[in-house]
Structure 1
Amino acid sequence: MSVVRPIAPARSLRTHGTHVRPSLNWRAGVLAGLSLTAPWALAVLHRVSQGQDLLLPPDVLKATTLSMGVALASTLTRGSSLARTWQVVGLAAAATAALAVLEPASARIDWYAMALTAFLAGFLMLTAQRLARPVRIGAIPSSTQIGPTDPAIDMLMDASLAQGPYDVLLINPEVSQNPSWSRYVITSACAGTRLDSIVDHIEQATGRVMPDRHRPDELVQSVRQARLYAAVKRGCDLALVLLMAPSALILSGIAMLAILVTMGRPIIFAQDRVGKDGRVFRMFKLRTMRPRKEGEAQCATAVNDSRITPLGKALRRTHVDELPQLWNVLIGDMSMIGPRPEQPGLVEKYEGLIPNYAMRHAVRPGITGWSQVRFGYAETVEETAQKLEYDLFYIREFGPAMDLSIAWRTVMVMFNPAHVR
């Protein structure tokens, strides 16, 4: 019997599922359509009321497109209804501010009205999501123990008691060979039910992989096939570093002066880390801890670590201490997005205890990454093994969509204490 340890609490499948979305009913469809057409319709009506022609000028066209983008971006938000509403408010404010800077001619636009329109579009889209018909998911248990599941997933124990039809039916390969279930599975498939693997569904819903259920070549296939994107990503890294350089230098200078006054030298903390293909490099950070005492064991940063100074806590909370890593990105040791690099001693330890740990070195390490925004820091070997499952998911899904998702989530969790130690 194949036994897989539980990999997520029940709420994870509901909160973080990405590949099964509710289907729109007619009410939700109408609201979704209004959210996308409202900015255009209001702009046209305003011009008609002013006696102008219906053709929108370029600056208004960009502003209305931006409002529509806020509506689409609101579909990516997570959390309670109130939290999601405030996220849309933030999206509308950030989008209008960005357009004001990037498009000086747009100063003629009534920004109050445009921000209100963007918020209205996003709020309509959120409401449409709330009204969408939930996807019915059924799962047929098998010899594989999958741990806790979402309460919204019906666990089917007997084909005769199954209340169909389901939109998605989660099965394992051996189920279709089971006489007591084969007819039900075939009938469901013919009725339009989508058949999906239980393991694949859980991995996509939780953003983690089960390493013992995949061959190493399957996990790194996306990295091998995305050579063009890897080159594009490297170019984007360089562009972002150059764009951030002026403000990063100013903030780093202020922080370095504060470290010199309160903690003394050294100011820069340099440490060996393991990068792509297992190559060791020197990673730079602003010092936030007291110097390691002679004979003190090398260990990962713990919650409320006594080695962190009061100034260091502030630098870590604001992530200013990581600004020197932009140099590592510039010279190619790191990327903006990727698994966090570990110390050689810890890597050697983890490789001896955790299967497939070395696979996380298939890509450049990053300043932020999938395991950072979804899991946070790992202190124990058990936590490191769980964190590896997120890193391997990133490697398996390596591509622009994954990196954009991480960049968005990084903004959402940047100042979350759970992701700072």
Structure 2
Amino acid sequence: MTNPIGRVSRQIPIPSSGFGERAVSIFQYGRRLRVQLVGAIIFAVCVPAVLRFAPASSELLGSATASTLQNAVLGTLIAVLAGIVLLRQFVAFPGVSASNYIIPSFVSSYGAIALVFFFLRLDYSRYQFIVSFAAAITWFYFIYFLTSRLAQPRLAIIPGGEDDRLFEIEGAEWARLKEPTENFQQFDGVVADLRADLPSHWERFIAASVLAGWPVFHVKQVMESLTGRVSIEHLSENSFGSVLPSLLYLRLKRLVDCAAAAVLLPIILPVIALSALMVKIDSKGPMFFLQQRMGYRGRMFTMIKLRSMRIDMPADQLFTAANDPRITTLGRFFRKYRIDELPQIFNVLKGDMSWIGPRPEAVKLASWYEESIPFYAYRHAVRPGITGWAQVSQGNVAEIEAATTKLQYDFYYIKYFSPWLDLLIVLRTIKTILTGFGSR
């Protein structure tokens, strides 16, 4: 919620803890957007341009035209600004460390500008681009390590309602206020259950805090921000209607899904064919596994996967356990690196699935959930995905309790449905595939 490079509601002085007030003030300045922005423009745009075209370096680097200089400076300026926007969008989500997304953000922004120059056949200084890229990354890593000691927010809790649940959540320093006259200058904000029936003196305290410009957060808002989950028991008629996913982005995402599937199909198809042949040789049974799943807007569809389990063992378990004896040796490898999911590209082309979204549940399990969990059907407001927020945050699950937590991740994805969250999931999915995180 207060990532050192991310978006913060308000910069509030934090008392020193061995570094001294002046050092803490420097750390606080490093979290401000204007400081990060001005520093990035100076070190990643202006300095490389001066070095490139300074008389001392011109003999070594050669001459360049005025248009080349303008293109290089303008291109790196746009790349820096786009990289900052992208990075701040990423770190706004729970559990995202800026240190892991500085390089992907600027690789994306500088790469996009380089492609524009390539296709438009514009001259630009490669030296300017390379040095600017390195300087931008160096600057933001410097900012990250300078301010990382302030990354964990210190929040004051107003007693009442569901305030006890906050102490179970990591990612913040909690302190319950005892009196409304208590000095809370040492905190980054105030947290209260705004739906609870609070005493009048605490209500006056909240009003005074707001008028003083101090951020006041609702318990639910803080819990979602720190955990990346939307608690199922908190879904009410009002919140249910307020988190309707963007219909415009739903349509745009469908176009992106089809375009990506069309581009990747020639690459993936040979892998599917070879893998299917390996499945046939490895164990008895069909090459593919077909199962009815609950999909978009509650419609059933047939999901296709490479078979990873034996056919001579019971298949009525709802969940796959760790070291499940039903999984074949080859299937275990496929599941670890998600190779068994590749045939679902045909589900994407057909419109049953998206590349990113809540994983589709088996019809039997979905029916059980609908009877047990209020608003479960809301999970079908978007197309199910091959990968999703729950998969990269939690991995596959093997029990009812963990499956309930997975639903909370799914509701968070739907509530904060956006291209930024999808792009973050793509990056995390790459890491998941490389590490085999959460596979069963």
TM-score by length of structure 2 reads: 0.78
Counterpart of 2:390 (choices 371, 382, 390) is 371
2:184 matched residue in structure 1: 163
Deviations 1:239-286 (A, max 9, x none): 111121121112222222322332354112111111022211111111
Partner of 2:402: 383
Match of 2:230 among 209, 214, 224: 209
Aligned match for 2:259, one of 197, 221, 239: 239
SS in 2 for 1:339: coil
Change (3 A) 1:383 1:44: same
Q: Secondary structure at the match of 2:358?
A: coil
Return closer, same or farther for 1:115/1:292 CA change in 2, 3 Å cut-off: farther
The residue that corresponds to 1:141 in the other structure is 159
Greater Cα shift, 156-165 or 14-23: 14-23
Structure 2 distance, partners of 1:17, 1:120, is 14
Cα gap change, 1:341/1:86 in structure 2, threshold over 3 Å: closer, same or farther?
Answer: closer
* Number of residues of Structure 1 aligned to a counterpart in Structure 2: 404
Amino acid at match of 1:255: S
The answer to whether residue 138 in structure 2 is matched with residue 120 in structure 1 is yes
Aligned-partner SS, 1:189: helix
Matched, 1:267 2:272: no
Distance 1:108 1:16 in 2: 32
Aligned counterpart, 2:207: 186
Deviation at 1:222, TM superposition (A): 3.6
Alignment of 1:9-28 (within 5 A): 20=8, 23=11, 25-28=28-31
Go from structure 1 to structure 2 and tell me whether the alpha carbon gap of 1:22 and 1:412 turns closer, same or farther (over 3 Å shift): farther
Q: Distance in 2 between matches of 1:248 and 1:132?
A: 44
In 1: Cα distance, 2:241 partner to 2:348 partner: 22
- Matches of 2:144 and 2:318, distance apart in 1: 44
* CA spacing shift, 1:319–1:391, aligned 2, 3 Å: same
1:206 deviates by 1.4
Deviation at 1:306, TM superposition (A): 1.6
Q: 1:353 to 1:179 in 2, by over 3 A?
A: closer
* In the alignment, structure 1 residue 195 sits paired with structure 2 residue 216: yes
- 2:354 maps to a residue whose letter is S
Asked whether the 8 Å contact 1:22–1:132 carries over to 2, the reply is no
Residues 325-357 of structure 1: CA deviation (Å, up to 9, x unaligned): 111011110111111001112222233333332
Q: Deviations over 1:52-100 (max 9, x none)?
A: 466525467545644565555555469xxxx965764566667777777
Whether contact under 8 Å (2:76, 2:132) holds in the other structure is yes
Measured in 2, the distance between the counterparts of 1:221 and 1:368 equals 25
Note closer, same or farther for the CA distance 1:191–1:71 as it changes in structure 2 (3 Å cut): closer
Partners of 2:31 and 2:8 in 1: CA distance: 17
Q: Match for residue 344 of structure 1?
A: 363
**Secondary structure in 1 matching 2:54:** helix
Structure 1 Cα separation of the partners of residues 107 and 254 of structure 2? 30
Give distance in 1, aligned partners of 2:425 and 2:10: 23
Correspondence for 2:427 among 404, 408, 416: 408
Q: Which residue of 2 aligns with 1:40?
A: 45
Take 1:87 and 1:128, find their aligned partners in 2: how far apart are those partners? 17
Does 1:253 pair with 2:261?
no
Letter in structure 2 aligned against 1:344: V
Out of 283-292 and 60-69, give the one that drifted further.
Answer: 60-69
* Paired residue type of 1:347: A
Q: Work out the percentage of aligned pairs sharing the same amino acid.
A: 28
Q: Note closer, same or farther for the CA distance 1:103–1:286 as it changes in structure 2 (3 Å cut).
A: farther
- Per the alignment, in what secondary structure is the counterpart of residue 320 of structure 2? coil
Unaligned runs of 5+ in 1: 1-12
Instruction: Give, in whole Å, the separation in 2 of the partners of 1:407 and 1:384.
Output: 22
Is residue 2:312 matched to residue 1:312? Answer: no
Q: Contact 2:43/2:136 (CA < 8 Å) preserved in 1? A: no
Check the 8 A contact 1:220/1:396 in 2, yes or no: no
- The letter for the 2-side match of 1:201 is V
Aligned CA-pair RMSD: 3.6
Q: Is the 8 A contact 1:71 1:118 kept in 2?
A: no
